[in-house]
């Protein structure tokens, strides 16, 4: 309990609480149930992608192609739905097609990183450029709107359980599934072991390549789920709608306590990071801050968070070195 109270997650939770109190004074609308649900719903796609990015960052990698992969899956979904029947089977097919296509793209990243040993940042930057170019070529930069989608999908998009949107439920289920994988499965323990100490993990028999392919493929899988949530939320496909989202995804994970150098990260922390970014953005809108200043403010928070995390990491490494010398 003491460790949790001193953790970075607890610090983020306190910041969120203080922000909520301040924003409640600025705008009485902020603490209403509808507004809070809108904050979560509006950031569900960010949250789903951040959950996947947590695993990648824990292993010491990074994936800047997540937004591009999600956009590609959105385009595939939009094009596919033009030919799908207006029946419940369509929803089933969507939940098969989108994750599978995401896994395909994610596994390419994983294979290049694990087998050819190209740095993750280089691989995913290249994939981001390739995918964005292909998406613009296929769509000519044009929207695919809801007039092309089956009615059953539009009904699904508006579906709620206990008054909570299906989009929020996708986020909740994704978080619960990933938490379970990290805590109770062999591959989850291997992800944590690789992040903690790659050399030691390989020495005890953990297959480094398998873990790398898994985390990038799982990132692709969640990009597929995020694409369903995004298409459901906007009821359209915008080829340029997710440009730059990868930075927010990485920021949410780091704000939630993950170490950008690898070895540390939790699903709960990532959820808090997503909520913090969502609340800040919502608060700036309610405070009627100009859109440009919203971007400046959010960017500054991201920079400060990553810088602080890196400084703390360097301090911990120096302290560890000092202990080893004294021993």
The DSSP line for 194-228 is HHH-HHHHHHTT--HHHHHHHHHHHHHHHHHHHHH
Six-digit token string for 78: 């939009």
State residue 306's pLDDT score.
67
Q: How confident is the model at residue 14 (pLDDT cuts 50, 70, 90)?
A: confident
pTM of the prediction?
A: 0.91
Higher pLDDT residue, 187 or 5? 187
The answer, yes or no, to whether residue 208 has pLDDT greater than 80, is yes
| Residue 307 pLDDT | 72
Query: What's the confidence (pLDDT) of residue 194?
Result: 87
Which pLDDT belongs to residue 126?
A: 94
Encode pLDDT of 243-273 as tens digits. 888 888 998 998 888 887 777 888 999 999 9
* pLDDT for the residue numbered 105: 96
The most confident of the ranges 25-34, 65-74, 190-199 is 65-74
- Residue 50: pLDDT above 80? yes
Whether the pLDDT of residue 317 is over 70: the answer is: no
Q: Is the pLDDT of residue 283 over 60?
A: yes
Q: What is the pLDDT of residue 99?
A: 95
Alpha carbon distance 310, 316 (integer Å):
10
The Cα-based distances of 180 to 171, 186, 267 in angstroms read 14, 11, 10
The per-residue pLDDT for range 92-119, each reduced to its tens digit, is 999 999 999 999 999 999 999 998 989 9
Averaged pLDDT, 207-217: 93
pLDDT in tens, 147-181: 778 889 888 888 999 889 999 999 999 999 999 99
Residue-level pLDDT at 320: 60
- Kindly list the structural domains of the chain, giving each domain's residue range(s) and its CATH number in brackets, ordered by start: 10-326 (1.10.3470)
Size (the chain), residues? 327
CA pair distance 223, 148, nearest whole angstrom = 22
Where is pLDDT greater, at 128 or 326?
A: 128
What pLDDT does residue 133 have?
92
Residue 257 pLDDT: 83
Q: Please report the pLDDT score of residue 321 as a whole number.
A: 59
Predicted local confidence at residue 91, as pLDDT:
92
pLDDT reported for residue 100? 96
**Helix (H) or strand (E) segment spanning residue 146:** none
Angle, helices 267-286/44-58, rounded to nearest 10 degrees: 140
> If pLDDT is split at 50, 70 and 90, which confidence band does 27 have?
confident
Burial label, 278 (beta-carbon count in 10 A; 0-12, 13-18, 19+): buried
Q: What local confidence, expressed as pLDDT, does residue 267 receive?
A: 93
pLDDT at 84: 84
Give the residue with greater pLDDT, 289 vs 129: 129
Q: Do the strands 164-165 and 160-161 form a parallel or antiparallel pair, or are they unpaired?
A: antiparallel
Average pLDDT over residues 290-302: 74
């Amino acid at each position: 309990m003491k460790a949790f109270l001193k953790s970075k997650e607890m610090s983020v939770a306190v910041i969120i609480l203080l922000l909520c109190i301040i924003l409640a004074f600025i705008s009485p609308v902020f603490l209403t149930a509808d507004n809070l649900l809108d904050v979560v719903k509006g950031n569900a796609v960010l949250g789903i992608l951040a959950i996947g990015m947590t695993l990648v960052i824990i292993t010491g990698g990074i994936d800047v192609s997540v937004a591009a992969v999600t956009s590609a899956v959105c385009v595939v979904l939009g094009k596919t739905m033009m030919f799908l029947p207006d029946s419940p089977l369509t929803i089933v097919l969507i939940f098969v097609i989108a994750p599978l296509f995401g896994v395909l793209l994610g596994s390419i990243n994983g294979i290049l990183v694990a087998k050819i040993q190209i740095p993750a940042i280089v691989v995913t930057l290249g994939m981001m450029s390739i995918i964005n170019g292909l998406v613009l070529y296929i769509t000519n930069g044009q929207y695919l709107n809801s007039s092309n989608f089956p009615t059953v999908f539009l009904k699904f998009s508006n579906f709620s359980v206990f008054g909570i949107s299906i989009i929020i439920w996708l986020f909740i289920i994704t978080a619960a599934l990933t938490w379970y994988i990290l805590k109770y499965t062999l591959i989850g323990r291997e992800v944590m072991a690789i992040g903690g100490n790659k050399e030691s993990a390989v020495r005890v028999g953990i297959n480094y390549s398998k873990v790398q392919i898994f985390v990038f493929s799982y990132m692709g899988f969640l990009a597929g789920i995020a694409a369903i949530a995004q298409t459901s939320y906007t009821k359209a496909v915008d080829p340029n709608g997710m440009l730059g989202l990868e930075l927010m995804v990485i920021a949410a994970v780091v704000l939630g306590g993950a170490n950008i150098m690898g070895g540390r990260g939790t699903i709960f922390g990532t959820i808090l990071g997503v909520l913090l970014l969502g609340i800040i953005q919502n608060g700036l809108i309610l405070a009627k801050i100009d859109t440009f200043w919203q971007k400046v403010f959010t960017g500054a928070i991201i920079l400060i968070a990553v810088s602080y995390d890196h400084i703390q990491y360097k301090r911990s490494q120096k302290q560890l070195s000092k202990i080893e010398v004294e021993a």
